[in-house]
Chains A and B, each alone.
Chain A
Amino acid sequence: MGSKAAAKRKSVKKKAAAKEESAAATKFVKEWSTWAMKKAKVITHYGFIPLVIIIGMNSDPKPSIAQLLSPV
């Protein structure tokens, strides 16, 4: 009976350790994805309009910088 209880305690501890490991892994993935989303948000915020302008300035027929900056 003692050995059964000991085996039960051992399996419970193993399960708890496995759960802790998977919990740590999901926490790591969540933290890393949150960091990535924050960086993506900042990059999009500052870079979207310049990206559209660069793509537009390189399309045919190529407009000139003077056309981009002049108000008319």
Chain B
Amino acid sequence: MATLIPPSPAASTTPPAAGSNPAATEPQKVDYLDLPCPIPYEEIHREALMSLKPELFEGLRFDFMKGLNQKFSLSHSVMMGPTEVPSQSSDVIKVPTANYEFGANFIDPKLMLFGRVMTDGRLSARLKCDLAENLTLKGNAQLTNEPHMSHGMFNFDYKGSDYRTQVQLGNGALLGASYIQSVTPHLSLGGEVFWAGQHRKSGIGYAARYNTDKMVATGQVASTGMVALGYVQKVSEKISLASDFMYNYMSRDVTASFGYDCILRQCRLRGKIDSNGVVSAFLEERLNMGLNFLLSAEIDHKKKDYKFGFGLTVGE
């Protein structure tokens, strides 16, 4: 749902600490006791994800957000288009579907509630609540009428002065914990462990993130065999380039992608090319205050799957 325009990469890099120098000419000494708070562990690839993975869609999409007051808003959204059905063969099978989704959001500094319900009964709900000054409870659930297809997850986040920890509990006996620490004003390192009871799997992973005002480099390794590296460079105020490399050493699957993100006054254009032969682009154009026009295209040359979509978003 494009109900919130994602923030620009310029605003999303971590704020510089007391040690780094925005305007001074001589380098200041790094104060290792006063490092900035790092990005949450699950958002470590945030810039690369924002640039390389826009919400591509196929068909028509119409979103209407109606604000009833500063904190509370309702949303009505209609989507018509083919959706993919998983199939055994390499052919892509698409089934045309149309659905209407009603949503309600309540956004308060202390409590955020986000709910969306579709005509077929699927509910997706998110909750974020500040229990104490540094402790946050987040919850996420996708509930359906079909048995055994619902998922739910709760996270408890604790934010320290220069570290963050998170404990995750999910259905299917999923348990996870992660920790990330700022080591220098630009570098943060973190790790996570998880245990999935239902599949009897456990894993451990490490991640590192180095960022300056102009670039962000991230790397993540997990015992499930995943290695993910990302690099985003802000070439100018309006344009940034991103690249991403994902390698799974268990299944020997490699994907590399390269993309750009242009944020101009009236529009935001993101494009990407992939090593799987996928070329995609996403344009959000601001026609007027509160009226956005969306165009999405994804061409998969290998599977011969062409997806084009257009949409309109009314309201903030």
Q: Which residues on A are within 8 Å of B, measured CB to CB?
A: 37, 41, 44-45, 48-49, 51-53, 55-57, 59-63, 67-68, 71-72
A44 contact set on B, CB distance < 8 A:
123, 125, 141, 143, 152
B70 contact set on A, CB distance < 8 A:
61
9 new A-B contacts, CB < 8 A, other than A41-B143, A49-B123, A59-B108, are A44-B123, A44-B125, A44-B141, A48-B115, A49-B104, A52-B114, A56-B73, A71-B76, A72-B66
A52 contact set on B, CB distance < 8 A:
104-106, 113-115
Q: Judge whether A63 and B143 touch: CB under 8 Å.
A: no
CB distance from B290 to the nearest CB of A (A): 13
Q: Judge whether A48 and B125 touch: CB under 8 Å.
A: yes
CB distance from B151 to the nearest CB of A (A): 11
B74 on interface, CB distance cutoff 8 Å: yes
- With A51-B113, A52-B104, A55-B106 known as contacts, the answer to whether A63 contacts B150 (CB < 8 A) is no
Select from chain A the residue with minimum beta-carbon distance to B105: A52
CB distance from B63 to the nearest CB of A (A): 14
A–B Cβ pairs within 8 angstroms, 20 of them: A41-B152, A44-B141, A44-B143, A44-B152, A48-B123, A52-B104, A52-B105, A52-B115, A53-B104, A55-B106, A55-B111, A56-B68, A59-B69, A59-B108, A60-B69, A61-B69, A61-B70, A62-B69, A63-B69, A63-B72
How long is the Cα–Cα vector from A72 to B314 in the complex, in angstroms?
11
B83-107 contacts to A, CB under 8 A, are 102-106
How long is the Cα–Cα vector from A57 to B74 in the complex, in angstroms?
11
CB distance from B74 to the nearest CB of A (A): 7
How long is the Cα–Cα vector from A60 to B108 in the complex, in angstroms?
11
How long is the Cα–Cα vector from A59 to B143 in the complex, in angstroms?
27
Q: Judge whether A55 and B143 touch: CB under 8 Å.
A: no
B104 contact set on A, CB distance < 8 A:
49, 52-53, 56
Q: Judge whether A49 and B68 touch: CB under 8 Å.
A: no
CB distance from A10 to the nearest CB of B (A): 37
How long is the Cα–Cα vector from A68 to B68 in the complex, in angstroms?
7
Interface size on B, residues (CB 8 A): 28
How long is the Cα–Cα vector from A55 to B110 in the complex, in angstroms?
13
Q: Judge whether B69 and A55 touch: CB under 8 Å.
A: no
How long is the Cα–Cα vector from A57 to B104 in the complex, in angstroms?
11
From the candidates B71, B72, B115, B152, name the one contacting A49 in the complex (CB within 8 A): B115
B171 on interface, CB distance cutoff 8 Å: yes
B108-136 contacts to A, CB under 8 A, are 108, 111, 113-115, 117, 121, 123, 125
A53 contact set on B, CB distance < 8 A:
104
- With A48-B115, A56-B69, A59-B108 known as contacts, the answer to whether A68 contacts B143 (CB < 8 A) is no
How long is the Cα–Cα vector from A55 to B111 in the complex, in angstroms?
10
How long is the Cα–Cα vector from A23 to B266 in the complex, in angstroms?
65
B111 contact set on A, CB distance < 8 A:
55
Select from chain A the residue with minimum beta-carbon distance to B71: A59
Which 3 pairs of residues, A with B, have the shortest CB-CB distance? A56-B72, A63-B68, A52-B104
Q: Judge whether A59 and B106 touch: CB under 8 Å.
A: yes
Select from chain A the residue with minimum beta-carbon distance to B76: A71
B71 contact set on A, CB distance < 8 A:
56, 59
How long is the Cα–Cα vector from A68 to B105 in the complex, in angstroms?
13
How long is the Cα–Cα vector from A51 to B123 in the complex, in angstroms?
13
A48 contact set on B, CB distance < 8 A:
113, 115, 123, 125
